[in-house]
Amino acid sequence: MLSHHEISTLLLVQRAPQTFDAYGADLLNLQKQELVEVERLRNGHTTAHLTRRGQEVLRRLEHLHAQRPTELDRSVA
């Protein structure tokens, strides 16, 4: 199970792969779970990208979020 910090890190990697601390604990945990790959570039910078598995996790979370009733739906019921 992913923590909310790890989910946030997945979203950051998806949207801005070069704006994170490559040695953060959340990122390391995501690497261990094979959700993210980190690459050191020739210029010394580090970048990350989602693996297929990481992409699938975010796709499923998005689907679950879309299935949730909204506040408007609840107020009508």
The whole-number pLDDT of residue 33 equals: 97
Q: Given pLDDT bands bounded at 50, 70 and 90, which one contains residue 71?
A: low
pLDDT tens digits, 3-61: 999 999 999 999 987 776 666 889 999 999 999 998 888 888 888 999 999 999 999 99
Q: In whole angstroms, what is the distance from residue 37 CA to residue 75 CA?
A: 43
The whole-number pLDDT of residue 53 equals: 98
pTM, rounded to two decimals: 0.78
4-76 CATH pick, 1.10.1050.10, 1.10.10.10, 3.40.50.2300, 3.40.50.300: 1.10.10.10
Q: Is 20 left (phi over 0), alpha (psi -120 to 50) or beta?
A: beta
- End-to-end, the C-alpha distance of the chain in Å comes to 32
Contact 22, 46 (CB under 8 A): yes
Contact 27, 21 (CB under 8 A): yes
